[in-house]
Amino acid sequence: MKIAMLGSGFIGRFYADSIQGQRSRDKIVSIYSRREESAKKFAEDYGVAHYTTNMEESIAHPDVEMVCISLPNHKHEEAVMLCCKHKKAVICTKPLGRNAAEALRMLKAVEQAGIFHGYLEDLVYTPKSSKAIESVRNGALGRILWAKSRETHPGPHSDWFWDLEQAGGGAILDLGCHCVEIARCYIGKDILPVEVMCWADTQVKPIDAEDHAIALVKYENGAIGQFEVSWTFRGGMDLRDEVMGTEGTIWINNFLRTGFEMFTTGKGTNYVAEKAESSSGWLFPVGDEVNDLGYNHMFTDMFSSYEQGRAPRETFYDGYVVNAILDAAYASAKSKLWEPVKLEVWRGKTGVHKDSHLESYDAEHYLVKEELTHYGAKKVILKNKTTGKIVERVLE
């Protein structure tokens, strides 16, 4: 693939490390940055032949096959519309839009233009997440009841994140987009998100947006998604997921405590891991960040999908659904009520009923629980189907 990278900052460099390092045949051929010195430095560091401060010039460059948007949130729509104008395949960092209306305009534009589009949601591509999602789809956890995702750290790297107008929101939009899509992958991306209850506040940072939030997302089949996000967490970046089903549970720790621990006085140390707050004491390095955070696998899916003429795992449609859920979270944080998820476009299942929680034990009883006690007896707890009375039996 020959790629135009829009944005030369933190995420653009993470993307470049992966794009030019994973398949060893993909190349960034043009770099756009708002500042010439940044574009030039990026070009030197990554061997990019063309650099510019004109976004359309980079997108329209004759060598470019695909455009990778790693720009601040308020620039996404402008970049997408230029890709549509020049009929260039486009992949965009998260969140797709600052709100669902913005995301929907981008979705409709790329579909009308007939161009390839991918949503760069790296955390659903981490090796652990991909394995867990596969296990869930194969039925290892039974019916999924609850999917929780947590992302917390001391705050983002660039100034624009902290500006409500440019970013569109705070920790909910920046981090909740990851968590919502992770939960959707476990619960089922074809299951309708119905409503959201959210608490959010600005606890620490001198900003207009929220720096901490917790929310519940109710799905049509009765499953619950939960996210916890914060720009106030001290100690590094904490990425954890939990999935619970009728037949099992999965716990995932993607970043902070992964089995790699190191103590150092700080002598000779420099970069440890993304958003690490110290270079001395007990540290938790990450073996291969672009791999462990899913970037390698995400770009492999994007490029392979483009070459094979199929949609990638994550498209602009997914980005739109995520934005709609987050819109409901913001509404709930203000109203203190459950707020509906408003989806003008829904392409999943409809009319899905909550699965029954009643499991028959025999003709007269439902099974509540069965267990083997510490003293060796097998016991069952039952509910009478007619009277509702709860009883227990010790089995021989």
Residues 109 and 203 in one domain: no
| Residue 280 to residues 258, 262, 263, 268, 270, Cα–Cα distance (Å) | 18, 9, 7, 10, 9
Taking the complete model, does pTM exceed 0.75, yes or no?
A: yes
Residues 72 and 191 in one domain: no
CB atoms within 10 A of CB 274: 16
- Shortest CA distance to 110 belongs to which of 86, 88, 84, 91? 84
pLDDT reported for residue 238: 92
CB atoms within 10 A of CB 158: 13
212 domain-assigned:
yes
Least confident of 73-82, 99-108, 160-169, 251-260: 251-260
Residues 215 and 245 in one domain: yes
Rounded to whole angstroms, how far apart are CA atoms 93 and 83? Answer: 15
Helix axis angle, 295-308 to 10-19, nearest 10°: 60
pLDDT reported for residue 374: 82
Residues 89 and 213 in one domain: no
| Residue 165 to residues 12, 34, 207, 323, 362, Cα–Cα distance (Å) | 21, 18, 11, 16, 60
Confidence of residue 270 (pLDDT cuts 50, 70, 90): low
160 domain-assigned:
yes
Asked if residue 263 lies in contact with residue 285, where contact means CB atoms within 8 angstroms, the answer is no
Residues 183 and 100 in one domain: no
CB atoms within 10 A of CB 294: 23
350 domain-assigned:
no
- Shortest CA distance to 181 belongs to which of 249, 230, 121, 244? 121
Rounded to whole angstroms, how far apart are CA atoms 133 and 72? Answer: 30
Asked if residue 2 lies in contact with residue 29, where contact means CB atoms within 8 angstroms, the answer is yes
**What's the CATH number where 117 sits?**
3.40.50.720
Residues 131 and 97 in one domain: no
What three-state secondary structure class fits 110? helix
309 domain-assigned:
no
Asked if residue 50 lies in contact with residue 30, where contact means CB atoms within 8 angstroms, the answer is yes
Residues 112 and 15 in one domain: yes
Residues 190 and 53 in one domain: no
The residue-averaged pLDDT of 315-340 equals: 98
Read off the amino acid at residue 82: L
| Residue 122 to residues 18, 47, 385, Cα–Cα distance (Å) | 11, 24, 47
Residues whose CB falls within 8 Å of the CB of residue 2, separated by 6 or more in sequence, listed in order: 26, 27, 29, 63, 64, 65, 66
142 domain-assigned:
yes
Residues 372 and 246 in one domain: no
Structural tokens at position 212:
């901490």
Task: Select from 62, 97, 122 the last residue of a domain.
Answer: 122
pLDDT reported for residue 281: 82
The residue-averaged pLDDT of 206-218 equals: 96
Instruction: Print the domain residue range for 380.
Output: 365-395
249 domain-assigned:
yes
381 domain-assigned:
yes
- Rounded to 5 degrees, φ, ψ at 340 are -70, 150
Structurally, the chain folds into a number of domains equal to 3
Which comes out higher in pLDDT, residue 47 or 264? 47
Q: What is the pLDDT of residues 127-144, one digit of tens each?
A: 999 999 999 999 999 999
**What's the CATH number where 196 sits?**
3.30.360.10
Residues 318 and 189 in one domain: yes
On the question of pLDDT at 275 being above 80, the answer is no
| β-bridge mates for residue 352, sequence order | none
- Shortest CA distance to 390 belongs to which of 369, 375, 363, 373? 369
294 domain-assigned:
no
Confidence of residue 269 (pLDDT cuts 50, 70, 90): low
Asked if residue 110 lies in contact with residue 316, where contact means CB atoms within 8 angstroms, the answer is yes
Asked if residue 238 lies in contact with residue 229, where contact means CB atoms within 8 angstroms, the answer is no
Residues 197 and 329 in one domain: yes
Q: What is the mean pLDDT of the chain?
A: 93
Q: What is the pLDDT of residues 288-317, one digit of tens each?
A: 888 889 999 999 999 999 999 999 999 999
Rounded to whole angstroms, how far apart are CA atoms 377 and 359? Answer: 22
Q: Which element (helix H / strand E) includes 119?
A: strand 117-120
Residues 171 and 182 in one domain: yes
